[in-house]
Structure 1
């Protein structure tokens, strides 16, 4: 896997993925930015969220669960001093569907967390990563 990050100006950067997609990253004004893009650490958290949500939805589809919506709310804490690594991350899944089985949802989240989501597992080496979920009927 390859990626490229090109400085734009101030502290704004354009990240380009090997698959041809781009994202603007920037910092707050007090750090020299103009607030025109996502912060790099926010992007790391979003990447973990996308990785685990992808896994969970894939596992639930294979289990023939009828998911009609999925929202993942992430909450993270960072160390107060440099390097300000994540110290805890909580992932709260809100799944909507028809007749979703809580055991299947719990299983899918556990499989993602323990086996499939490389981002969660990697971040879990330095942070405590927890998960929970709620199910809503469609």
Structure 2
């Protein structure tokens, strides 16, 4: 895996993946996500891929999956994340709470490379709710 990051002026950067996908990051928080916000997005996206895939395989009737992520940072420099919490909201009809819990736990413990990598230095917690349609 390889990416290229190029300075775009001020504190704006453009990342380009090997497949040509672009991602902009802004250290000034003006025109794009900050690098630290991108880490939270990456953790939530990675976990969501797992949760959606597992729920699909278990034939759950869901129409939406959202993740609210909160990150707490250290007060000193470097201001690393100390705690990250991912709260999954699964909307659907007849969605089993047991299946959602299983999917979230499997992602957290076995599949999500981003969260598992971060968990060696960050306290990562998960919760979920099922919203009936």
TM range, normalised to the smaller chain? Answer: over 0.9
The match for 1:57 is 52
TM superposition shift of 1:24: 1.2
The match for 1:21 is 21
Does the 8 Å CA contact 1:4/1:15 hold for their aligned counterparts?
yes
Provide the rounded CA distance (Å) in 2 between the counterparts of 1:110 and 1:19: 31
The match for 2:100 is 105
| 3-state SS in 1 of match to 2:116 | helix
Provide the rounded CA distance (Å) in 2 between the counterparts of 1:96 and 1:19: 32
RMSD across aligned C-alpha pairs, in angstroms?
1.0
| 3-state SS in 2 of match to 1:4 | strand
TM superposition shift of 1:130: 0.5
TM superposition shift of 1:67: 1.1
Q: Which TM-score applies when normalising by structure 2?
A: 0.96
TM superposition shift of 1:86: 0.7
Provide the rounded CA distance (Å) in 2 between the counterparts of 1:15 and 1:41: 14
Q: Which TM-score applies when normalising by structure 1?
A: 0.93
Where structure 2 has 5 or more consecutive residues not aligned to the other structure, the ranges are none
TM superposition shift of 1:18: 1.6
TM superposition shift of 1:83: 1.7
The match for 2:132 is 137
Q: How does 1:1-138 map to 2 (within 5 A)?
A: 1-28=1-28, 35-138=30-133
The number of equivalent residue pairs is 133
Where structure 1 has 5 or more consecutive residues not aligned to the other structure, the ranges are none
